[in-house]
Structure 1
Amino acid sequence: MNQTERRSRKLGWRFVVLAVVLVIAGSAVIRSCWLDVYYIPSESMEPYLVTGDRVLVSRTDYNSTTIVRGDVVVFDGRGSFAPLNSGQGPVADAVHTIGVWLGVAGSDTVYVKRVIGVGGDHVKCCAVDGRLEVNGVPRDEPYLYPGDAASTSAFDVVVPEGKLWLMGDHRSVSADSRSLLGAPGGGMVSVDKVIGRPLRILWPFERFGPLARPTASAILPVPPAIQKDAQ
């Protein structure tokens, strides 16, 4: 191999490395600002989302639209659902972070749940017929996992302004706001902790498709929903 060929091959590898770096950097910017991908690690949102789903999440939807009862939100659980300081060591944490970024591992601090109550709502379990009550009105929940009760644990809460009461659709296996009633914050999650809204299942292929928001008939009309402040 002559010197010209060596130089050409070296330049070729440099272009490949530069292209890879640019793709990774561009992907990081997109995922931190507009769209991200999350892996669903548990059964808590079945049948809407199942273990192993990879979902595309919009980070900007709630900057211009309101968070309403029935919405499914992806949120940062640190300070509410997850401890502020967690980790298994720098190496294990680094490997796990890479897995989360690649969409093959679930995050220890990011959760997905359904909004049951917004600021000002009075949420109670349960009515005489076993349904949840929101502002004194029994609520139908067509998204519940087949055979599940609305809740097997009683609660009676008023959601503060700027907070959300969140529950999984598979109530019998979901650790959610009910599990944190005795903790600081009482199971409420700040609206500012919402990362975004799941838009579409990307994988597995047989489940590929859009994730619809709740219809107007699924949302009790009082009081009005809240809007997440633009970041």
Structure 2
Amino acid sequence: MRAQEPRDRNRSRGSRASGEAGRPWWALVLLTLAGAVVAAALLRAFSGPVYLVPSGSMEPALLPGDRVHVDTAAAAGAGLEHGDVVVFDGAGSLAPYRSRTALDRGLEDVAAFWGVGAAQDVYVKRVLALPGDTLSCCTADGRLERNGAPLDESYLGRTVDAAAPASRSTWAFEVPEGRMVVLGDDRDVSRDSRALLGAPGGGLIPVEKVIGRVDSVAWPLDRRGDVPAGAEDGSRG
């Protein structure tokens, strides 16, 4: 007669799931989530905020779904230069003021904090004009003109000429103190300062609304790398 196999007291009974040391499955899930949140919080504390790029308005430099690292040293416009790619609060300019509950704001801010969602009022654009500048479109050969000088915008990733100008509409900005003009790199699809010409504020975004300067793509891994500023005038990058 074969001896009966000793019963393993740690083995789960029936179909009831349990973790090691008898912990229920949901406790392990909560512990795992808590660990991930703490790790992400530590990473963010050392590396700075990450924002999700929700649209193709900044192609080819940034693609939909990119998570970009933002240097908050440029918050409120500190040290901004022509060609910088910035994240800014567009409430009251590109985005109308919205009535939101505290819960709505909290959930949206948490998603943006972790780079898993895009805040509805936050935009990513390139700075083309700063206080005291004039910016217009376009010269005879299709280029933007700033302070009387045509711009060579290599970051557009395409040929700019009279048949394919840097922007298909004609416009001009004179930028007062405390304001800036921002444009997307994909000018045919981007909603930017041009969309607000004739509106209160004239499409000029308050510099104080800048959250930070985009300095790199953090995710996905195959796109990790710096996001240099436009070099059409020899500025940063």
**TM tier relative to shorter chain:** 0.7 to 0.9
Task: Give 2:50's aligned residue.
Answer: 37
Deviation at 1:157, TM superposition (A): 1.5
TM-score (ref. length: structure 1):
0.76
- With normalisation by structure 2, the TM-score equals 0.74
Unaligned runs of 5+ in 2: 1-8, 10-21
Identify the match of residue 233 of structure 2 among 211, 219, 223: 219
Q: Cα offset for 1:102?
A: 2.5
Displacement of 1:23 in angstroms is 3.0
Counterpart of 1:131 in structure 2 is: 143
2:203 is aligned with 1:187:
yes
Task: Show the 5 A alignment for 1:37-56.
Answer: 37-56=50-69
2:217 aligned with 1:201: yes
Any unmatched runs of 5+ in structure 1?
Answer: 2-8, 222-231
Instruction: Verify the 8 A CA contact 2:53 2:118 in the aligned structure 1.
Output: yes
- In structure 2, give the amino acid aligned to 1:23: V
**Aligned twin of 2:127:** 115
Cα shift readout 1:174-224 (whole Å, capped 9, x = no counterpart): 000000112111111111111111121111111011222334xx2279xxx
Aligned letter for 2:116? V
Structure 1 residues 22 and 129, CA gap change in structure 2 (3 angstroms): closer
The letter of the residue matching 1:178 is: R
Contact 1:145 1:171 in 2 (8 A): no
Task: Give the alignment of 1:69-218 within 5 angstroms.
Answer: 69-87=82-100, 95-146=107-158, 149-215=165-231, 218=232
CA RMSD of aligned residues (A): 3.6
AA at the equivalent of 2:148: G
Contact residue 144 and residue 169 of structure 1 kept, 8 A: yes
Larger radius of gyration: 2
- Residue pair 1:68, 1:219 contacting (<8 A) in 2 also: no
* Residues 53 and 79 of structure 1, relative CA distance in 2, 3 Å threshold: same
Aligned residues: 209
Answer yes or no: is the 8 Å Cα contact 2:138–2:165 preserved in 1: no
